[in-house]
Amino acid sequence: MQLNVIQIILVVLVSFLAGMEGILDEFHFHQPVIACTLIGLVTGHLVPCLILGGTLQMVALGWANIGAAVAPDVALASVASSIILVLGGDFTSKGINSAYAVAIPLAVAGLLLTILVRTISTAIVHIMDRAAEQGNFRKIELWQYIAICLQGLRIAIPAALILAVGAGPVRAMLTSMPKMLTDGLAIGGGMVVAVGYAMVINMMASREVWPFFAIGFVLAAIDKLTLIGLGAIGLALALIYLKLEKSGGSGSSNGGSGSSNTGDPVGDIIDDY
């Protein structure tokens, strides 16, 4: 499909904000469920883009910068795959899967742009250091804004290039992709989802959390439970935990059982029993 001038401007603006939020991380415009939803909103295809964003969000759960290892570029993956989905014009499950399959290699390719912008930002830091020695705070603020805008252009420029190509070549590219490639990328993306969940669980794993994880795992298998029901159960469990936290703090210090308060209230109660 073809986008009008206003839609193109809004898509580039959303892309610019997503690029900046990849560093600022304040309003989370770079997260797939938000970036894809915003692009779907401005292009008039909210539901398919929301589905794509939700799918990509499951993949991005395990993407994080750890030490010197830089995570794949979730902002570029979200924006570019949404634009490709909209321009492709196929909003069925097949079209969404095709856009989803393209998002993974786009995220990896976005690392090159990230490295380029961060290399330029290193030079900007030295300019700001010299401005600080001179006491020129206005210059420091100016270069700060320039560095942040570079992060926005890191996503806005590829988005504008994809928009400039048009729907025809994009649709041809999607349809010309062999089934073996799209299926392989989809399977690889599914494996990334599993790895992402494993990383999240590994960070949260503790003897206090595992019982809640087991309860949630069982409840998720019940078909008739709605999101409202799951939310009510989660709220009840949170209130129970807060009550046990107070009981655990007092029980460890005044219960006379001889155990010390380790900072894990539920674990202290279990140890007492």
Domain boundaries, the chain: 5-204, 210-272
- Confidence (pLDDT) at 192: 59
Go through the chain and tell me how many residues it has. Answer: 273
> Could you give the percent of the chain with pLDDT greater than 70?
75
d(CA 105, CA 109): 6
CB of 14 closer than 8 Å to CB of 152: no
- Confidence (pLDDT) at 38: 93
CA distances (Å), origin 1, targets 42, 44, 109, 171, 219: 14, 11, 26, 9, 42
CB of 193 closer than 8 Å to CB of 104: no
Nearest CA to 61 out of 215, 216, 195 is that of 195
Task: Say if residue 16's pLDDT is above 90.
Answer: yes
- Confidence (pLDDT) at 39: 93
pLDDT tens sequence across 115-142: 788 888 889 999 999 999 988 899 999 9
pLDDT tens sequence across 217-249: 788 788 778 878 888 888 888 888 888 777 765
| Mean pLDDT within 63-85 | 76
CA distances (Å), origin 58, targets 63, 169, 212: 10, 29, 20
Quote the crossing angle between the two packed helices 93-134 and 167-176, to the nearest 10°: 120
The pTM of the full predicted model, rounded to 2 decimals, is 0.61
Give the lowest-confidence range in 26-30, 88-92, 137-141. Answer: 88-92
